[in-house]
Amino acid sequence: MKLEHTSVLLNRCITVLSTSLENKEKPVLVDATLGLGGHSLALLEKFPNLQIIGIDRDKSAIDKASQRLSSHLDRITIFHAVYDQTPKLLDSLGISSVDGILFDLGTSSMQLDQSERGFSYAQSAPLDMRMDQSSGITAQEIIDSYSRGELIRIIRSYGEEKFAQRIVDNIIEARASGLIKSTSDLADLIKRSIPAPARRLGGNPAKRTFQALRIEVNQELAILERAIPACLERLNVGGRMVVMSFQSLEDKIVKNFFTQATESKTPLGLPIEIKALSAKFSLVFNGSQKASDAEILDNSRAKSVRLRAIERVAA
Ligand SMILES: C[S@@+](CC[C@H](N)C(=O)[O-])C[C@H]1O[C@@H](n2cnc3c(N)ncnc32)[C@H](O)[C@@H]1O
């Protein structure tokens, strides 16, 4: 089993963040999703005065990152926390604002490869799926206790699964007899629930339901919705936030916040722009960037990445 993670769009992230970090005496950056520390390590090596605040909710990622970054521990402060706590963590360090914030969303390859964590439908394991195994409810508890309506809602909205109702009806029947106890029990049930012609399209039929459960277990979208605006408030003028999303629901949230933040609040129809109501942020480039074919060939995780970046232009 490999417990590694190849950082996605590493050079692109560094290039986009460089503008805010270079030529500063002591730049500060938040790596909100430290993972195995790949992005942090490259940034610490490139910017000798950079100070990083690294956050991850997964204790095993924190342990691995701490080892990997051991020669830079004087320049990185690592927190086992959820990233919507960023403002509180910065306050605890007496830092009011920072020059860069990086979000590399989703799970790391290490988490997917640790089959016992239950993220993968390819290996049989307990239905856990918690990024932080020290708290919160597991996928098993959701399967066992959510109502039919709640299950349909999450599988439909977080998994964008057309056959949510059929899958949930089968879950309700199977759980009554205690027949869903592992990722493979659930993956088999999903496969049986999807009509044969649809099963042949779009990859493993379990992918969408597993994504939905993982989002619900970890409250991924609600946390992202709290974190993006709170973190934008903590950027210095000239500071940049880079977000890499790996599925459309996250990317939509990021896009919406970035659009709102870059719009002037001057009422439409006024002949002049009111400076106090001008947008405080500007997009670094329009839309999102994808990985190159070469990077996708080298790292299949890069296939779905969408990178967005925003800069604070006014206090
Ligand atoms: C894609 S990996 C990051 C990889 C990292 N950039 C690297 O180069 O090694 C995403 C990490 O974010 C963490 N994570 C996801 N959601 C989080 C949240 N809400 N708060 C804190 N950490 C989170 C996961 O535990 C995982 O380790």
Examine the domain organization and report whether 208 and 84 are in the same domain.
no
Least confident of 65-74, 218-227, 251-260, 272-281: 272-281
End position of a domain, from candidates 174, 201, 218: 218
End position of a domain, from candidates 151, 184, 218: 218
Examine the domain organization and report whether 84 and 230 are in the same domain.
yes
Nearest partner of 307 among 254, 250, 245, 256, judged by Cα: 245
- Alpha-carbon gap, residue 209 to 155, rounded angstroms: 6
- Alpha-carbon gap, residue 159 to 180, rounded angstroms: 19
**Pocket lined around ligand 1, Cβ cut-off 6 Å:** 5, 7, 33, 35-39, 55-58, 61, 82-83, 104, 106-108, 131, 223
pLDDT tens for 267-294 read: 988 888 888 899 999 999 999 999 999 9
Nearest partner of 107 among 244, 208, 11, judged by Cα: 244
pLDDT tens for 225-243 read: 999 999 999 999 999 999 9
CATH code of residue 152: 1.10.150.170
Examine the domain organization and report whether 99 and 19 are in the same domain.
yes
- Mean pLDDT across the stretch 96-114? 96
Residue 121 inside a domain? The answer is yes
pLDDT tens for 120-166 read: 999 999 999 999 999 999 999 999 999 999 999 999 999 999 999 99
pLDDT tens for 12-35 read: 999 999 999 999 999 999 999 999
Examine the domain organization and report whether 136 and 89 are in the same domain.
no
* Count of structural domains, the chain: 2
Examine the domain organization and report whether 140 and 202 are in the same domain.
yes
pTM of the model: 0.96
- The share of the chain scoring above pLDDT 90, in percent, equals 90
Residue 298 inside a domain? The answer is yes
- 57: domain range? 10-110+220-312
Examine the domain organization and report whether 101 and 138 are in the same domain.
no
Examine the domain organization and report whether 225 and 212 are in the same domain.
no
End position of a domain, from candidates 218, 238, 268: 218
Examine the domain organization and report whether 150 and 292 are in the same domain.
no
- Alpha-carbon gap, residue 257 to 309, rounded angstroms: 11
pLDDT band at 1 (very low <50, low <70, confident <90, very high): very low
Residue 4 inside a domain? The answer is no
Closest ligand 1 atom to residue 36 Cα is 9
Closest ligand 1 atom to residue 34 Cα is 5
Closest ligand 1 atom to residue 65 Cα is 9
